[in-house]
Amino acid sequence: MTLSLQDMQRRVDAYIGQFQEGYFQPMTLVVRLVEELGELAREVNHEYGEKPKKPTELPGSIALELGDLLFVITCLANRLNIDLEAAFNQVMHKFETRDKDRWTRISKEE
Ligand SMILES: [Mg+2]
């Protein structure tokens, strides 16, 4: 199934729209984002870092923590009426123009 950023924003909005509480305030959503970033950091540290899990800790998932981050980012965008697709396109345009010569290109002749 192909899912555009617009589809994602609509799906999250339909989900949140079922509840009287609605979206959290922007500041709360930023705190939620930091919480989820911490959870991602924890999983990455367990997998690639120097801090193994305790035997009593359940295995986690880097992929699911990235998914949590996407959900909260989408909530924040919806709460602020930001079109994520437009924002992403603007950011990619910046990388593709301003930063186009920043990194070493892979040579096609090798
Ligand atoms: Mg999480």
Report residues near ion ligand 1: CB below 5 Å.
Answer: 36, 39, 65, 68
Which ranges in the chain belong to alpha helices (H)? 5-16, 26-48, 62-79, 84-97
Cβ within 8 Å of residue 4, ≥6 positions away: 85
pLDDT at 109: 74
Residue 9 has pLDDT above 90, yes or no: yes
CA of 2 to the centre of ligand 1 (A): 24
- For the stretch 48-105, pLDDT in tens is 999 888 888 888 899 999 999 999 999 999 999 999 999 999 999 999 999 999 999 9
CA of 81 to the centre of ligand 1 (A): 24
Cβ neighbours of residue 12 closer than 8 Å, sequence gap 6 or more: 71, 74, 75, 78
Segment 39-50 shows an average pLDDT of 94
CA of 67 from ligand 1 middle (Å) equals 8
Q: Look at the chain and report how many structural domains it folds into.
A: 1
Give the Cα separation of 82 and 26 in Å (integer).
Answer: 12
Inside any domain, residue 109? no
> Which CATH number do you get for residue 15?
1.10.287.1080
> Is 11 a domain residue?
yes
Range of the domain at 82: 5-98
> For the stretch 55-73, what's the b/e string if a residue is b when 16 or more beta carbons lie within 10 angstroms of its beta carbon?
eeeeebeeeebeebbebbb
